[in-house]
Structure 1
């Protein structure tokens, strides 16, 4: 039994005691397990973000607890996990019972620390770097990399973005040309803003193996740490300072041809499908960050006095909180419905039907956190502009806003992509209906 009443907006409705049709006992037990583990493993997350780095052994602690695995998209790679002796996740959750609502809970709880930095230092690499190997790599490629990565003995990142090609993936310039003896791809180019790159043994990397445009792209598992021709340096960014954002230079890096993920020339397809998991998990975590900011400001306004009354007694303050709260909870309700749909659809159906909406949900997350974080800073006043003290959390989350709106696909690109995908689906279904009607 809780010993305190939660601050309004501090938890999603289902954790505020309201009924929900989405969550079963497995999900409720998992939420308690995740909260306890995050509170234990990430207790000093605020201090790490201030320092700009996480402890060197944090990743191994997550791996030892089997707490890296929930970063992977549902369904989990059950055959691989059982082959490696991993039958359950923390809290005795069977790996075969894990669904996307468990993913939602994990991402939500990890973001409760109030920063994308420390959690990003642990999650982003494996969450987005390993799935291309699991989904598109052949058995030989998986046997080469999966056991060490999934158990945390080795680390991986996803390397798509370049100085001249961010959301415009089809414009990637990093080349991978076959060597004369045909045994290697020789990789040359640069990758920028690669989260976790500094610590990664490998990268699932988008490269150009053919001509211009999307048909010339492929994906390779490129070795990074201690590899000749690879130079990495840290990029200092405004938010998520402890996540290890990296600039990677590749100068005649030899990569065995066996490291090709899937088929040559299919890289654009793999990247786009991989983005769906990335964008949805970003939307979940960003919503929680917005929740932390807004509820912190809500609590502050009930205590802080100005002009002879608390801030909460000022109508303009209540108006600001109300508008942000409406946007926050509407976005969360959409995410829940979205994730529930994913538990009922096959992966192919989910990619086809929800790909555009995933981009839209991610874009909306950026708009929600911008509103909630800026409002929190404003209501905290001078404290919200200070990196220590009462308003520190609002100041920190406000610096996370660009990291919510840009990575995983910039907001304007996401909005456009969403509509183009919806039009494409409409036209496809109209054609299918016309064909069916003509046969009657």
Structure 2
């Protein structure tokens, strides 16, 4: 049986048969493993789940059973914890110590092939961004209490930062955590909004105000959610990612043990900002795949759809639109690949310092690329691209994902500003270090 020729833009270049300097045999094997599992767990009904706005209750447990949740964690993986819990390999025989950020890129790219961040986000978002603060900043005692259940999927967690009045402006968080008179509990009051996976989560890694105004007054707590007195949760209906369980959380005198503090009191802003780097990079990867799906679907449609006696592809204006969007798509992917490769060569400290601002920029650019590709797809599909069924459904659905790419994880304008401020900060720091080095005595010239 002959293999079908792939539609242009339908896969990243390295999966279109073109050479790449980034991927080794481990990455190629991992890609095949991920594709097989996504084809089994998500692709058959992913579109249907997104239309319905929910996923089956057992989807999370299926991912747990396949040991397919752990790749959501930032690389390198928490190897000591995994091996202690008897987890030595990921699906396909990939050893946990060999997992790097290119494996992360492959995993996230494959998970987004459903054409929505909803079905995949329903199982991945919570653990991907809620568990890392505990692993990175939590005390050994805190990790002992929470990591075994969370990393094995026996319990679920989400990340809870955003509030009705505090989105990208994290320093404006108003949810308070005041110590009880006996000093044994934080009493938490406030609300959190747009919290992905909140509905199903036993806990939240939550940003709260334990001190005065501004960033120095923020801390992070592990706050119990499901079946907890004082916690009320309801689903929020959103335009895209409808199946991901977007949640509004109200907290009314919720008692949280003092021992649930993540790290050091007053350091919450630093923890939140560092945690954002992993989130923004994975958003960039997944959003690029959505853009790829939209554009390649339109490309395929234009090859067969006729208008004015010609296929759409024979119309110069159509080719022009595809070309402009394709250039944006592949330029962004090349940057994300390069960026991810750099992550495999830098320490966590170096990556946060050198790439933190650029991560924000890559995330912002991902949303702009998705808008260009999704808009192009809708226009080229015509009426079909404005319809929630039929051959243009994929374009209509992905177009609704655009705001979900440009706002969560730090809204676009904030990301653009953050990127430049971080680049200026790094430039000034390196200039100061260079000046100090130049002024340092070089020693005597006497023999």
TM-score bin (small chain): over 0.9
SS of aligned partner of 2:207: strand
**1:57 corresponding residue in structure 2:** 58
Classify the secondary structure of the residue corresponding to 1:242.
helix
SS in 2 for 1:54: coil
Q: Deviations over 1:201-258 (max 9, x none)?
A: 0000000000000000000000000000000000000001000000000000000011
Question: Where does residue 363 of structure 2 map in the other structure?
Answer: 362
1:177-196 to 2 correspondences below 5 Å: 177-196=178-197
For the residue of structure 1 that corresponds to 2:50, the secondary structure is: helix
CA displacement 1:245-299 (0-9 Å, x = unmatched): 0000000000001100000000000000000000000000000000000000000
TM-score computed with the length of structure 2 as normaliser: 0.98
- 1:362-397 deviation digits (Å, cap 9, x = unpaired): 000000000000100000000000000000000000
Name the SS of the counterpart of 1:101 in structure 2: helix
Task: Give the distance between the partners of 1:9 and 1:181, measured in 2 at CA.
Answer: 62
Equivalence for 2:71: 70
Compute the displacement of 1:2 (Å): 6.9
Runs (5+) with no aligned partner, structure 2:
443-447
Aligned-residue offset at 1:414? 0.1
Q: 1: distance between equivalents of 2:392 and 2:153?
A: 36
Secondary structure at 2:166's aligned position in 1? coil
Q: TM-score, normalised by structure 1?
A: 1.00
CA distance in 1, matches of 2:333, 2:402: 17
Structure 2 residue matching 1:73: 3-state secondary structure: coil
Equivalences for 1:259-408 in 2 at 5 Å? Answer: 259-408=260-409
5+ residue gaps, structure 1, are: none
Matches within 5 A, 1:52-131: 52-131=53-132
Query: Within 2, Cα distance between the matches of 1:129 and 1:399?
Result: 26
* Distance in 2, Cα, partners of 1:128 & 1:200: 13
Q: CA RMSD in A?
A: 0.7
In structure 2, how many angstroms separate the alpha carbons of the residues matched to 1:231 and 1:433?
A: 54
Asked if 1:44 is matched to 2:45, the reply is yes
Aligned residue number for residue 201 of structure 1: 202
Q: Partners of 2:3 and 2:52 in 1: how far apart?
A: 33
Give the aligned partner of residue 413 of structure 1: 414
Q: Please give the alpha-carbon distance, in whole angstroms, between the structure 2 residues aligned to 1:335 and 1:75.
A: 18
Alpha carbons of 1:291 and 1:2: their partners in 2 closer, same or farther (altered >3 Å)? farther
Query: Aligned in 2, Cα 1:2/1:400: closer, same or farther, shift over 3 Å?
Result: farther
Match of residue 6 from structure 1: 6
CA distance in 2, matches of 1:222, 1:193: 17
Aligned residue for 2:18? 18
Instruction: Measure the CA separation in 2 of the matches of 1:303 and 1:150.
Output: 48
For residues 74-126 of structure 1, the C-alpha deviation after alignment (integer angstroms, 9 at most, x for no partner) is 00000000011000000000000000000000000000111010011011000
How far, CA to CA, are the matches of 1:437 and 1:28 in structure 2?
47
Cα distance between partner residues in 2 of 1:386 and 1:331: 28
> SS at 2:243's partner residue?
coil
* Secondary structure of residue in 1 paired with 2:242: coil
Deviation of 1:3 (Å): 1.4
What's the counterpart of residue 445 of structure 2? Answer: none
Determine helix, strand or coil for the equivalent of 2:23. coil
Q: Give the structure 2 partner of residue 246 of structure 1.
A: 247
Equivalent in the alignment of 1:235 = 236
**Runs ≥4 in structure 1, deviation > 6 angstroms?**
none
